Amino acid sequence: MMSLLPSNKDAWIIQGSVTIDINDSTHGTVEDEFLLKIIVSKTFPNEIPKVFELEDRFPKTADYHTYIDGSLCLGSPLSIQKRIHENPTIEGFVETCIVPYLFSMSLYLKGNKTFVLGELSHGTIGILEDYFEIFHLKTVPQVIKLIDILCMKKKAANKQVCPCECNQVITKCKMQKIVIEYRNAMSRKDFERDKADILELMELVTQYQEPKRIPLA
């Protein structure tokens, strides 16, 4: 139920209805329909498409997982890029990134108190939480060291001691498989952006000592 709209040289614009009909073991059958606009950069799959809900069924605020420009926050860039890498088509993006969001949003609008597929904090803190969870790390310095490894060429990276502090080179640690998966999913430029954002956040935390839950060491 979607069609291609007149587009420009930089992106394709797709608009229409996305219907979900999901039989979930916990929540039963979830049926709903959302009117969406998807802006797909012509650099796709290297750039994440932007998605907008057009019927104002929910406020476009952080509490409803939307960005300042009104686009939907479908997850952390790290997780979204990995899903796109595994299925680099528009249909794959809809199925693996948009549909889970709509499923959670539909239940949320019907009274569920949380997003059933999980929630991260907003902004850079959420990105940091994702690195902690995915790579089983505990401190910010570990994450920074990991990102440095992800930014290296494979030959140099394989000689580095794993950031999990197992005291083994990364090729001998169980984390190697996860590192390979995500190195292929995002570019060095993307990882460098994450590092810059995290370092900026850490500078603010050092100045104001908030939020206290961020493990600096």
Contacts 24+ apart (CB under 8 A), 52-61: 54/15, 57/109, 58/105, 58/108, 58/109
Amino acid at 92: G
**pLDDT score recorded for residue 115:** 84
DSSP 8-state symbol, 94: I
Average pLDDT score over residue span 58-68? 90
Mean pLDDT value across the chain: 89
| Chain segment 76-100, per-residue pLDDT in tens | 888 999 999 999 999 999 999 999 9
| Chain segment 101-159, per-residue pLDDT in tens | 999 999 999 988 888 777 777 778 888 989 999 999 999 999 999 999 999 988 899 89
Let me know how long the chain is. 217
| 127 close to 76: Cβ distance less than 8 angstroms | yes
Report whether pLDDT(210) > 80. Answer: no
C-alpha 166/C-alpha 140 separation (Å) is: 16
**pLDDT score recorded for residue 35:** 97
**pLDDT score recorded for residue 150:** 92
Nearest to 175 by CA among 187, 166, 188, 185: 166
**pLDDT score recorded for residue 201:** 87
Report whether pLDDT(209) > 70. Answer: no
Nearest to 33 by CA among 106, 107, 114, 96: 106
**pLDDT score recorded for residue 184:** 84
**165 three-class SS:** coil
| Chain segment 23-51, per-residue pLDDT in tens | 988 888 999 999 999 999 999 998 999 99
Q: What is the band of 212 on the pLDDT scale with cuts at 50, 70, 90?
A: low
Return the percent helix, strand and coil in the chain, to nearest 5: 45, 20, 35
Q: What is the band of 208 on the pLDDT scale with cuts at 50, 70, 90?
A: low
Place of tokens 């190195």: 183
Take residue 106 and report the two structure tokens written for it: 């539909």
Average pLDDT score over residue span 198-210? 75
Helices 188-208, 123-135: inter-axial angle, 10-degree rounding: 110
Whether the model clears a pTM of 0.75, i.e. scores above it, the answer is yes
**pLDDT score recorded for residue 216:** 55
Strand partners, 5: 13
